[in-house]
Amino acid sequence: MFMNIMDGTVVNVALPTLSRHFAVPIGSVSGVVTAYLVTLAVAMPASGWVGDRFGGRNVLLAAITVFTAASALCGVAQSLPELVAFRALQGLGGGMLVPVGMTLITRAFPPAERIKANQILIVPTLLAPALGPVIGGALVDGLSWRWIFYINLPVGVAAIVVGLLFLPAGSEHPAGRFDVPGFLLAGAGFPLFMYALSTGATDGWGSAVVLATGLAGLALLAVFLVVERRAAEPLLRLGLYRDGLFRITSLQATAASGGFLGTLFLVPLFLQNGLGFSAVHSGLSTFTEALGGMTGVQITTRLYKRTGPRRLMIAGMSGAIASIGLMALAGPSDANWLIPLLMYCTGFSFGFAISPSQAANMATITAAETGHASTLVNTFRQAGAAAGVALLGTVVAATEAGAADLAGYRLAFLTAAALMAVGLVFCFFVDDAAAAPTMAGKTTTATPPVLPEAA
């Protein structure tokens, strides 16, 4: 997960260098980012079925292998089209990696132990986006842009070796028939919609390409929803949203991802383009988010079983709204210390809220449905993050924010806080009683035995 998440922010730092290396406009190298997002959106909806059909261990190891091999190919790419193609291959691995890995973790831990597992699981979610700009800037400036891909190789190889040695084989849940119509519709609709989201802020929402892909994507997804409601074995089990706790925590995570990832996208722009910070200085200023997040998770983990998820999520989301909103007040005279402090508070609050949300998310989901539930959560969380980045990028572009006028950045910070406020609203509807299985003091004899695949 760390390797997969960090890859996105590392590549963003290298785009100007890639533009110079391949002697193309900066807009042309955006394909390096969008190719990854598009194939990620193709693979992710099918990950639940694939994991159950071929076994979580096999699919996870295959996904890591594809991602690692594609990273090596990206590093040796001799042309921009080659690099874009290899990034697309990387996206196929990344689209399977996180949902299937999350499924294995959920099945491995009984509900009462998941909040403890989140102490570790949340680390890559918080650390990777913060480390990406720092590591990316250091590699691009000190070595070469190729090293932003080579850095994945030792991590990927180590993960494969550990997986081969310690992950048990087998799949204990029948996959059923593959939903071909659903896959074709989702495999076209999600990528088109994600492409429009990822390019709209830079190319303009009135662009013919953005309008065509965005509207076509929405139309295909609308048809997809109709088809899935009628399918006997749908690709995305949308019926899982009838479970109130799963629905509410999933919606909260989607909105929170939009606000949080949008903020991580916005702060470097504000510091570098608005205030003239260097890339390394900007990266170090945002890195405090990870430290705050890990601190918040440690505290909320210890409180969870006594208080339940609802109050912790409300407190965390409220803190995130305040911290991000206060960033709108930062300026040239105080940003040097205020932004690192507020980023620490933002990370603390986000970790405080998202850890109980993740622990409660699948409290009432059966083991047989965890693969499909994980696919749903991660697919819509990815869409929420892309939408948050697109929205804030649009605000910055529309207001022509820059060093001469910081008003656009201030409005964008308030917009990010508003996205967090949407997530806060969902928190009030979380039912602590439904999350009771995750709040047990210890696992009872009634807990189902650990299944072979998830041991």
Greater model confidence, 279 or 139: 139
Is residue 172 within 8 A of residue 52, CB to CB? The reply is no
pLDDT in tens, 296-317: 888 988 898 888 899 999 999 9
Asked if pLDDT for residue 61 goes beyond 80, the answer is: yes
Average pLDDT, the chain: 82
CA distance 30 to 22: 13
- Report, as an integer, the average pLDDT of 387-398: 81
Whole-number Cα distances in Å, 212 to 56, 103, 219, 451: 37, 35, 11, 46
How far, in Å, CA of 98 to CA of 43, rounded? 11
Task: Considering only residues 273 and 360, tell me which one the structure prediction assigns the higher pLDDT.
Answer: 360
- Give the separation between CA 400 and CA 396, rounded to whole angstroms: 6
Residue with tokens 């998830």: 454
| pLDDT at res. 161 | 94
Question: Could you give the 3-state DSSP secondary structure of residue 180?
Answer: helix
Min mean pLDDT across 278-287, 376-385, 427-436 is at 278-287
Where does residue 57 rank: exposed (0-12), middle (13-18), buried (19+ CB within 10 A)?
Answer: buried
For residue 368, what are the contacts with CB-CB under 8 A and spacing of at least 6? 173
What share of the chain in percent tops pLDDT 90? Answer: 21
- 3-class SS at 429? coil
Helix (H) or strand (E) holding 325: helix 309-326
Detail the DSSP E strand segments found in 129-197.
Answer: none
Lowest mean pLDDT among 22-36, 327-341, 358-372: 22-36
- For the stretch 315-339, pLDDT in tens is 999 999 999 999 999 888 888 899 9
**Tell me: the pLDDT tens digits for 108-138?**
787 777 777 777 777 777 777 777 777 777 7
Answer with the residue of higher pLDDT: 407 or 33. Answer: 407
Residue entry with tokens 């383009």: 273
> Which whole number is the average pLDDT over 42-69?
86
Is residue 203 over pLDDT 90? Answer: no
- Give the confidence band of 413 by pLDDT, cuts at 50, 70, 90: very high
Decide whether 1-170 matches 239-439 in CATH topology.
Answer: yes
Domain 239-439 listed as CATH 2.40.440.10 = no
Domain spans of the chain?
1-170, 184-234, 239-439
Given a cut of 70, is residue 454 above it in pLDDT?
A: no
Q: Which residue has the tokens 């959106």?
A: 41
Structure confidence at residue 422 (pLDDT):
94
Q: Is the pLDDT of residue 48 over 50?
A: yes
Domain 1-170 has CATH 3.40.50.2000: no
Helix (H, G, I), strand (E, B) or coil at 1: coil
Residue type for 333, please? Answer: S
147 falls in which pLDDT band (50, 70, 90)? confident
Count how many residues are written for the chain: 455
Highest mean pLDDT, choosing among 32-41, 368-377, 385-394, 404-413: 404-413
